[in-house]
Amino acid sequence: MRLFKCQSCGQTVFFENRTCEQCGHALGYLPAATQLLALERQGEFFAAVKGQHLKFRYCENASQDACNWVIPADSPDRFCAACRHNRTIPDLAAGNNRVAWQRMEFAKHRLFYTLIALRLPLKNLVDDPKGGLAFDFLADVPGAGPKILTGHEEGLITINLNEADHAERERLRTQMGEPYRTLLGHFRHEVGHYFWNVLVRDAGRLEACRAVFGDDSEDYAAALKRHYAEGPPKGWDQNYISAYATAHPWEDFAETWAHYLHIVDTLETASAFGLRIHPAATRNRALHADIDFDPHTAVSMQELVDAWLPLTFAVNSLNRSMGQPDLYPFVVSAEVVRKLQFIHEMVHAHGSAREVSAPVRRKGFFGRVIRGGQPPSQPPAPPGPPPIRPPEETPEITPPEDAPPVELPPDEMPPPPMPDEPPPLRLN
């Protein structure tokens, strides 16, 4: 994720901001330009401070404080590029549904930020009624039928609203023996199933994908049952990014896909802050990096991994200094890099439809520019900047050779999958 600058006063502003805290201008995110626009009201629309002839209105979900994206004023759309994929949202008047859904939308918009930056194909149910990407945000109703299962089916992603309850999500994470469970992680995983349909199954890559992830014709229900009964095979972490990825090749693909998005987005954030990692304790080059490139246009997976390992090594260590769980509690093995490479090449092969922008090596910001300037006026509605928060537990970046290995406290290893408790709400 980039960092943004208020186009009116130059204040640093964040992706989710709706108002500049310094000059009071309204802010709206324009995905086509990767820009957070400073806006001023002009009648029923908002004009961009930089380019007054450009008029916008907010996505309809802005009225629920669930979105800060804008749409060109002359567009017939009511919803923005991210919200146009919502099929069902919960009853916002009931219980904590509104807050839960707002949290979901925060995560979902970050998902779409990266999908759009990677120029992945995004059809909704209007574009493709049979297989378009759509979301149902559903709440369990006590005593009314089976629990809502988070999962994906032919483009439709269902998310149980209770995942937005931090205590409940942590309970599930512990119960499932997972080192990491976040809303953003859910979205990135589930959308991986959608892109398996679009970029693998429907794009003639089935055999190539099977050569890397295994034979997906294996009975899915039986495979999951086996996974929950027996847990992952011994030594799984040599070949898989997570224990759950061992359940079935589809899950391996979705898990690996999610990590590809984790890596690309987090590296972009590191780049936006101009992070350089040069630990004095080691001259091992594998632990040094200047993160000064746009990961969306990286030439190879190796380029990303070469920056990712030092970054996670450093940030996991920072988290430990604060008594926090590791930012990235996973080991990226050579085999996992091979799988990530498959995804990287596939994403970029699709991206050949996009203009080939050579990897931009520059410090700090990257992004497309919008136009010339003008000063402030008046603001509209709320919310403020969300705290930027990291996720969960156990580590290892397999620090090469003489690297100071970070000792794990003994109780940090994730427990094996639950014994005979029912497999609840696991992503599928």
Residues pairing with 427 in the sheet: none
Token digits of residue 18: 């709706």
- 163, 143, 142: which is closest to 151 by C-alpha? 163
- With respect to Zn ion, which residue has the nearer C-beta, 257 or 328? 257
Token digits of residue 297: 């246009």
- With respect to Zn ion, which residue has the nearer C-beta, 201 or 285? 201
Name the amino acid, one letter, at 238: Q
Angle at 347 between CA 346 and CA 353, to 5 degrees: 105
Question: In whole angstroms, how close is the CB of 427 to Zn ion at the nearest point?
Answer: 4
Question: In whole angstroms, how close is the CB of 61 to Zn ion at the nearest point?
Answer: 4
Of 10-39, which residues contact Zn ion (CB under 5 A)?
Answer: 11, 20, 22-23, 25
Is residue 427 near Zn ion by the rule CB under 5 A? yes
Is residue 228 near Zn ion by the rule CB under 5 A? no
Question: In whole angstroms, how close is the CB of 81 to Zn ion at the nearest point?
Answer: 8
- With respect to Zn ion, which residue has the nearer C-beta, 18 or 296? 18
Question: In whole angstroms, how close is the CB of 275 to Zn ion at the nearest point?
Answer: 25
Q: Reading across the β-sheet that carries 156-160, which strands appear in turn?
A: 86-88, 134-138, 156-160, 151-153
Q: For residues 237 and 102, give the distance between their C-alpha atoms in angstroms, rounded to a whole number.
A: 35
Going from the C-alpha of 299 to that of each of 5, 328, 412, the distances in angstroms are 28, 23, 35
- With respect to Zn ion, which residue has the nearer C-beta, 49 or 309? 49
Is residue 82 helix, strand or coil?
coil
Angle at 412 between CA 410 and CA 414, to 5 degrees: 120
Question: In whole angstroms, how close is the CB of 415 to Zn ion at the nearest point?
Answer: 21
What stretch of H or E contains 264?
helix 249-272
- With respect to Zn ion, which residue has the nearer C-beta, 196 or 293? 196
Burial (CB < 10 A; 0-12, 13-18, 19+), residue 73, is middle
Question: In whole angstroms, how close is the CB of 332 to Zn ion at the nearest point?
Answer: 20
Determine contact, residues 66/105, Cβ cutoff 8 Å. Answer: yes
- With respect to Zn ion, which residue has the nearer C-beta, 247 or 287? 247
**Neighbouring C-beta atoms of residue 219, cutoff 10 Å:** 10
Is residue 13 helix, strand or coil?
strand
- With respect to Zn ion, which residue has the nearer C-beta, 102 or 266? 102
Name the one range near Zn ion by CB under 5 A: 285-293, 300-308, 398-406, 420-428.
Answer: 420-428
Of 231-270, which residues contact Zn ion (CB under 5 A)?
Answer: 251, 254
What stretch of H or E contains 157?
strand 156-160
Of 2, 3, 4, 8, the one binding Zn ion by CB under 5 A: 8
Question: In whole angstroms, how close is the CB of 251 to Zn ion at the nearest point?
Answer: 5
DSSP for residue 42: E
Question: In whole angstroms, how close is the CB of 7 to Zn ion at the nearest point?
Answer: 8
Segments in 301-374 forming alpha helices (H): 301-321, 334-350
Angle at 224 between CA 163 and CA 107, to 5 degrees: 25
Of 42-101, which residues contact Zn ion (CB under 5 A)?
Answer: 59, 61, 67, 69, 80, 83
Residues pairing with 13 in the sheet: 4
String of contacts with Zn ion for each residue 367-396, x by CB under 5 A:
------------------------------
Name the one range near Zn ion by CB under 5 A: 9-17, 135-143, 209-217, 335-343.
Answer: 9-17
Token digits of residue 28: 């709206």
String of contacts with Zn ion for each residue 293-332, x by CB under 5 A:
----------------------------------------
Question: In whole angstroms, how close is the CB of 231 to Zn ion at the nearest point?
Answer: 17
39 Cβ contact partners less than 8 Å away, ≥ 6 residues apart:
25, 26, 27, 28, 46, 47, 48, 49, 56, 70
Question: In whole angstroms, how close is the CB of 193 to Zn ion at the nearest point?
Answer: 6
- With respect to Zn ion, which residue has the nearer C-beta, 117 or 427? 427
In this structure, the strands spanning 276-277 and 156-160 are unpaired
φ, ψ at 30 (rounded to 5°): -110, 100
- With respect to Zn ion, which residue has the nearer C-beta, 249 or 310? 249
- 117, 109, 81, 106: which is closest to 264 by C-alpha? 117
Question: In whole angstroms, how close is the CB of 288 to Zn ion at the nearest point?
Answer: 35
- With respect to Zn ion, which residue has the nearer C-beta, 162 or 428? 428
Of 3, 6, 172, 289, the one binding Zn ion by CB under 5 A: 6
Using CB under 5 A as the binding criterion, the count of chain residues that bind Zn ion stands at 18
Name the one range near Zn ion by CB under 5 A: 8-16, 222-230, 334-342, 377-385.
Answer: 8-16
- With respect to Zn ion, which residue has the nearer C-beta, 59 or 298? 59
> For binding to Zn ion (CB under 5 A), which residues are involved?
6, 8-9, 11, 20, 22-23, 25, 59, 61, 67, 69, 80, 83, 251, 254, 427-428
